[in-house]
Amino acid sequence: MRSAVLVVLAGVVLAGLAQAQGKDGPLMACGVHGDTDILCGTRSPEDLELTPDGKSILVSQFVNGPGGAGVAGLMLFDLAKKTFIRITPTAEPRKDWGDPACPGPIGDALRPHGISLLKRNNGAVQVYVVNHGGRESIEMFELKQSGRTSDLIWHGCVVSKEAFNDVAAEPDGGFIATHPTALQPPAPPAGQGKGAPSFDLFSGLPSGYVSRWIPGKGETELPGTRTGYPNGVLVSSDGRYMYFNAWTAKEVHKYDLKESKETGMVKLDFMPDNISWTSRKTMLAAGVKGARGDCPPGSGTPCNQAFGIAEIDPARMEAKTVFDSAGKGALIAGVSEALQVGNSIYIGAFQGDRIVKIPAKK
């Protein structure tokens, strides 16, 4: 997906989601509401990853396009203090991280989207970040923690012609990533047409695919992964299976990386954005219940406030509802992530000023 198209898409999604207040009214105030804690102080916390010390959550502030300068970036949320702290990476380029042809450090141009945290085979903790600032790329950082100090060090990148959405790091330094709109017709050149491409992104028809990047071999499309807006992605701990969300199709797919074929799929009643592992080795998928044309006519409920969270058994590819926002009030807008930490679930979103903490079902 081209950068210009990404900005247009963001505008379409936000315009479709940010509707009149509806029966749930404006978003609830920050603070504790019964067993729900609304934690403010961030900006568009699209993706969340627990740090290895278990004391913080790495937050990707997805603020792309105009207004992103000085706002977009990576934050650490201190679980004990309930505070957000901006983390400023340093740079130490290394040829064994990413593509040797990487142009160099991304610096302040970083506009993060999906993130993935994993330990490399040599023990280093890698953080891979989907970036839309200045270049479409996967930016590669090393996270070092000592006591209450966390340092993020840029080591390399992989640049792509098509925009990524989410990434799942692999321990050998490679990754699996989604290209949600790579199959869309390109926008007409400046002065040679008006408007966005005619392809209906919300139809659920294939708009992109999943790819794999292997050090020294480059990036290739994984056959059989062309779906409706491939979004969040995970890889099993043994490296055998890959799981990815088809956002507009409301599906979660299971893919055998050894056999290069799909082996399972489950339908959800919401648009699954990101997925994450739980302590039970199941997956949590979270997302809004509708966008643009999917909003129920006359419902009076803004789609951006209605969301669901499902727990998925990766072996059986069966899902059960963990949380449904219906009747809970307007907690958060544009839900994109649910991350279990202990007995709680932290919810992130691609817009807004907050993450939300709710109890995890036992």
The pLDDT tens digits of the residues spanning 301-336 come to 445 789 999 999 999 999 999 999 999 999 999 999
Side by side, the strands of the sheet bearing 90-91 are 90-91, 149-159, 137-146, 125-131, 112-119
> What does the angle CA 344 – CA 115 – CA 83 come to, to the nearest 5 degrees?
50
pLDDT confidence bin for 214, thresholds 50/70/90: very high
Q: Is pLDDT of 221 > 60?
A: yes
Name residue 345's amino acid: I
Q: Residue 133 and residue 189: Cα distance in Å, rounded? A: 21
Q: Residue 265 and residue 145: Cα distance in Å, rounded? A: 38
pLDDT in tens, 127-150: 999 999 999 999 999 999 988 789
- Residues of the chain above pLDDT 70, percent: 85
**Contact status, residue 160 vs residue 136, Cβ threshold 8 Å:** yes
Q: What is the pLDDT of residue 185?
A: 79
**Contact status, residue 45 vs residue 60, Cβ threshold 8 Å:** yes
Q: What is the pLDDT of residue 301?
A: 42
β-strands 83-86, 90-91 pairing: unpaired
Q: What is the pLDDT of residue 168?
A: 98
**Contact status, residue 74 vs residue 56, Cβ threshold 8 Å:** no
Structural domain of residue 348, as residue ranges? 3-359
Q: Residue 199 and residue 8: Cα distance in Å, rounded? A: 13
**Contact status, residue 42 vs residue 351, Cβ threshold 8 Å:** no
Q: Residue 171 and residue 360: Cα distance in Å, rounded? A: 29
**Nearest partner of 99 among 125, 149, 44, 137, judged by Cα:** 137
Mean pLDDT rounded to a whole number for the chain: 88
Q: What is the CATH number of the domain that holds 222?
A: 2.120.10.30
pLDDT in tens, 19-78: 323 345 689 999 999 999 999 999 999 999 999 999 999 999 998 766 665 678 999 999
Number of domains in the chain: 1
C-alpha distance across the termini of the chain, in Å: 40
Q: Where are the beta strands (DSSP E) in 31-72?
A: 31-33, 36-40, 45-50, 56-61
Tally Cβ neighbours within 10 Å of residue 204. Answer: 18
pLDDT in tens, 144-203: 998 878 999 999 999 999 999 999 999 999 999 999 999 987 766 666 656 555 678 888
Report which of residues 116 and 298 the model is more confident about.
Answer: 116
Q: What is the pLDDT of residue 227?
A: 97
Burial of residue 277, with CB atoms counted within 10 A of its CB: 0-12 exposed, 13-18 middle, 19 or more buried: middle
Q: Residue 91 and residue 105: Cα distance in Å, rounded? A: 6
Q: Where are the beta strands (DSSP E) in 41-110?
A: 45-50, 56-61, 73-78, 83-86, 90-91
Comparing 26-35, 159-168, 251-260, 288-297, the range with the smallest average pLDDT is 288-297
Q: Residue 259 and residue 281: Cα distance in Å, rounded? A: 22
Q: Residue 278 and residue 341: Cα distance in Å, rounded? A: 8
Going from the C-alpha of 52 to that of each of 126, 263, 283, 341, the distances in angstroms are 11, 31, 19, 12
**Contact status, residue 334 vs residue 291, Cβ threshold 8 Å:** no
Q: What is the pLDDT of residue 80?
A: 96
Going from the C-alpha of 159 to that of each of 22, 95, 136, the distances in angstroms are 42, 14, 6
Q: Is pLDDT of 125 > 60?
A: yes
**Contact status, residue 173 vs residue 123, Cβ threshold 8 Å:** no
Q: Residue 158 and residue 165: Cα distance in Å, rounded? A: 14
Q: What is the pLDDT of residue 191?
A: 61
Rg over alpha carbons for the chain, rounded to the nearest Å, is 19
| Residue position matching structure tokens 């000592």 | 146
